[in-house]
Amino acid sequence: MTAFSSRLRAGTPAPSAMRVVLAGSSGLATVARHAGQIGGVLRKAGHEVLEYLSGEINPLGEPPAEGHTTEPFTAAGDIDLVVVLGGDGSILRTARWMGSRQTPVLGVNLGRLGFLADYQPDEVAEVLEEIAGGRFRLVDHLLLEASLHREGRCLLSALAVNEVSVLAGPPFTMIEIALQVDGEPATTFRGDGLIVSTPVGSTAHSLSAGGPILRKDLDAVLFTPLNPHTLTNRPVVDSASRRYELMVPAPNEGSACVVDGRVVSSLRPGDRIEITRGIPRFTLVEARHHGYYSTLREKLHWGGGPHAAGR
């Protein structure tokens, strides 16, 4: 499956007529209304708009089976831009929906936090003008590919924008997770689980577990143990170019491999989870006045938040 041949190029004016997908869940009350408004703005500017809104709980669907293509993008052909309406969860589902056919995403926040869905609906018209004038940049983000191996077979693989986690699960007793790096034994984590996150994911589940914040365009992987039963287990940052393997010799009945908050498989003794750098890159469109550190200040209230200086 090949990537989209997007014509967006950072620092150059956007094509006068782009093919744009509006994606989101019509189960959110405001999505359909804003889709109509934003679609109108895009069409007025001469762009072709394809809407893929759904009332499903998982509106953008699951990854296709191996060897199959992803509908509706296959039907749409080449796409220049995907505008996601919703929150960060909607963006994660969109990235999973696109699979290896990643194309630039503009996130419009209709949720609460909106760390990835960075723009408000009333900013979209201005952002589109910035894009039309070439006053934007494309920020590539690392994707992780996790594959689960059982009895010598690869059962499944999944792309992660935020993280791949191994969680102890019911009956909630401590588990051991052995880590190998490029085939070499590294360490064994003992606790409630382990989060392996991308730099983007460092501000998600890993942050809640006490992990550090990594600048989102780094090519690195972060390991954050969950409630480690030792004083020596601390978050570790390593290169994304390495091959990581996780094994749980004695999982609990409810132990699971979780990718971006979605359980992809329960775990059995002898299962091996291989984590490598994904081939595609997840790309966000970033216009002026919306830089990384402003997002940290405004969304996560870093340093006391945007009002701290005025106190």
Domain map (residue ranges) of the chain: 19-141+281-310, 144-277
- Fold topology of 144-277: Tumour Suppressor Smad4 (2.60.200)
- Model confidence band, residue 236 (pLDDT cutoffs 50, 70, 90): very high
Please state, in angstroms and rounded to a whole number, the distance separating the CA atoms of residues 219 and 277: 9
**Is the CB of residue 199 less than 8 Å from the CB of residue 214?**
yes
Please state, in angstroms and rounded to a whole number, the distance separating the CA atoms of residues 14 and 130: 9
- Model confidence band, residue 50 (pLDDT cutoffs 50, 70, 90): confident
**First and final CA of the chain: distance in angstroms?**
53
Please state, in angstroms and rounded to a whole number, the distance separating the CA atoms of residues 135 and 188: 47
- Model confidence band, residue 66 (pLDDT cutoffs 50, 70, 90): very low
Q: Distance of alpha carbon 302 from its chain centroid, rounded?
A: 21
- Model confidence band, residue 119 (pLDDT cutoffs 50, 70, 90): confident
Residue 152: burial class (beta carbons within 10 Å; 0-12, 13-18, 19+): exposed
pLDDT at 113: 67
Mean pLDDT calculated for residue range 76-89: 83
pLDDT at 217: 84
Single-letter amino acid, residue 168: A
Residue 68 has pLDDT above 70, yes or no: no
- Model confidence band, residue 289 (pLDDT cutoffs 50, 70, 90): low
Q: List C-alpha distances in Å: 18 to 8, 123, 201, 293.
A: 9, 19, 30, 30
Poorest-confidence range of 11-25, 36-50, 184-198? 11-25
Average model confidence (pLDDT) for the chain?
Answer: 84
Percentage of the chain modeled with pLDDT above 70: 84
pLDDT at 6: 63
Highest mean pLDDT among 20-34, 72-86, 234-248: 234-248
Residue 245 has pLDDT above 60, yes or no: yes
Residue 77 has pLDDT above 60, yes or no: no
Residue 60: burial class (beta carbons within 10 Å; 0-12, 13-18, 19+): buried
pLDDT at 304: 62
Highest mean pLDDT among 31-35, 136-140, 277-281, 291-295: 277-281
Find where tokens 């994707």 sit. 143
Residue 67 has pLDDT above 60, yes or no: no
Give which of 158, 143, 1 is closest to 67, Cα–Cα.
1
pLDDT at 15: 77
- Fold topology of 19-141+281-310: Rossmann fold (3.40.50)
Q: Which residues pair with 293 in a beta bridge?
A: none
Find where tokens 């989102």 sit. 216
Q: What is the set of active-site residues?
A: 88
Residue 147 has pLDDT above 60, yes or no: yes
Please state, in angstroms and rounded to a whole number, the distance separating the CA atoms of residues 107 and 122: 13
